[in-house]
Structure 1
Amino acid sequence: MKPFTERAVHIIRHIPEGKVMTYGQIAALAGSPRGARQIVRILHAMSKKHRLPWHRVINASGQISLQEEEFRMTQILLLRGEGVVVTDSGSVDLRIYQYHPDHLAE
């Protein structure tokens, strides 16, 4: 696994229950501020194998980005199950629920 991918997986794995992070935020902490799309690929390819809490990652606007309705509803339900308030349109208030780790990129 490449160092960026390793750091990203580590960061995603440590997002606490009831909190979210954005694709760009994870990319920046992992060492590539413009690598948000890479985070999408990592989540798609590695979530199951590495048991990543993929549902805790949303876009910079606080929106769930998934277009497929089944996966979108699954993400909403998982977040709500952790106490995150998610609107029916898939919006999360980042001021309340965004996780800001101090030292996860090591």
Structure 2
Amino acid sequence: MTELTKRIVDIIKNIPKGSVVTYGTIANIAGNSRGARAVSWVLKTQTNRYNLPWFRVVNREGKISIKDYNTYNEQKALLLAEGIKFDKDDKIDLDLFAFTYLKE
């Protein structure tokens, strides 16, 4: 595992219940401001190995990025269960729900 991957995993592991973080914010904190795709790759390949709270990662607009209908609904249900609220456009208010210590 690369150092970047280790940092990304550590950041994702530490997103608290009831909070979200964007792919770009995670990449920036991990030391690669242009590494949002690396965050996506880590989520895809390391979630099961490290029991990552994958569902707490959203795009910069505060939306779920997953296109698969079932997985999208699973992520939304997990977030709703933690108290995350969505507006009528399925957008999360990042000012309210982004983990403050990880905000850009």
Please, what TM-score do these two structures have when normalized by structure 2? 0.93
Quote the RMSD (CA, aligned, Å). 1.2
- Structure 1 stretches (4+) deviating beyond 4 angstroms? none
Q: Percent identity?
A: 37
Match in the other structure for 1:70: 70
Match in the other structure for 1:22: 22
1:49-93, Cα deviation, whole Å (9 max, x unpaired): 110000000000111000000000000000000000024643111
Counterpart-to-counterpart distance in 1, 2:49 and 2:10 = 13
Give the 5 Å matches for 1:81-100: 81-87=81-87, 89-100=89-100
Give the 5 Å matches for 1:14-53: 14-53=14-53
Counterpart-to-counterpart distance in 1, 2:70 and 2:90 = 13
- Report how many aligned residue pairs link the two structures: 102
In structure 2, the gaps of 5 or more residues are none
